[in-house]
Amino acid sequence: MNTKELEATVKTLQEQVKTLQEQTQTLQDIEEIKKLQRAYGYYLENWMTDEVADLFSDSPDTVLLVHAGDFRGKEGVRKFFRPRDRNKGRRMPEFFHQVMQLSPIIDVAPDGKTAKGRWYGFGANASPVKDGVFQGWMDGVYENEYIKENGKWKIWKLGWYMYFFAPYFKGWVAPERQCDKNFQHQPPQLNPDGPSPDTFYPSQFICPFHFEHPVTGEETPVNY
């Protein structure tokens, strides 16, 4: 092997090392984002306001989009996850709010500074009300964006597209068909910064996909 061939081999190896380093960093980013989103779910379970808000970016472009409306900035996030009595980290008596973060697809931007992720959310809740405790279950899709700030991944834009929220024993079919006719889920009036799309069953809403088809590479169109 002459000098020219050796230099070419070294250059090829350097490029391969660089590619492996980039791939390793992407995998590390994905794992950190998974931990971030799963932590959100565990804090949400106990409505731990401060811990949830700290997962979000300090950017003024931060967005929380839920069925109650569109909340902007970190203060908007705090407005929705309003403080409740936590008794130093203990769950309120008879309160429970568990939404599992499932089946993630995460795509990190080429520059490694932002990422997008889609998750299923499925869970159950129990909320003290005037006459006792309401128990229900819910289902939906998260379509989120993340941003790396000072080396830490944070939630930048969280979209929770809830498909149903219903009494546990009665399911989510229309009230006149199965559910208690007196039950209607009404999100709290929190003065959001904008409206939220109509996602509840039997809506034909499909949460937009941030990723291209894994095989065809084509965009998945939805009527929204």
Q: Residue 111 domain-assigned?
A: yes
**Domain range enclosing 57:** 3-167
Q: Residue 53 domain-assigned?
A: yes
- Per the listing, tokens 């230099």 go with 7
Separation between Cα atoms, residue 141 and residue 65, nearest integer Å: 12
Q: Residue 194 domain-assigned?
A: no
- Residues 205 and 198: beta-carbon distance below 8 Å: yes
Mean pLDDT of 187-204: 77
Domain count, the chain: 1
- Residues 140 and 161: beta-carbon distance below 8 Å: yes
Q: Residue 207 domain-assigned?
A: no
State residue 175's pLDDT score. Answer: 61
Q: Residue 99 domain-assigned?
A: yes
pLDDT digits (tens, 9 = 90+) for 20-32: 999 999 999 999 9
We report the CATH number of the domain holding residue 45 as 3.10.450.50
State residue 13's pLDDT score. Answer: 84
Mean pLDDT of 39-44: 89
Q: Per mean pLDDT, which range of 42-46, 65-69, 167-171, 185-189 is the poorest?
A: 185-189
State residue 171's pLDDT score. Answer: 67
Q: Residue 61 domain-assigned?
A: yes
Separation between Cα atoms, residue 190 and residue 88, nearest integer Å: 25
SS (H, E, C) the chain: CCHHHHHHHHHHHHHHHHHHHHHHHHHHHHHHHHHHHHHHHHHHHCCCHHHHHCCECCCCCCEEEECCEEEEHHHHHHHHCCCCCCCCCCCCCCCEEEEEEEEEEEEECCCCCEEEEEEEEEEEEEEEECCEEEEEEEEEEEEEEEEEECCEEEEEEEEEEEEEEEECCCCCCCCCCCCCCCCCCCCCCCCCCECCCCCCCCCCCCCCCCCCCCCCCCCCCCCC
Q: Residue 183 domain-assigned?
A: no
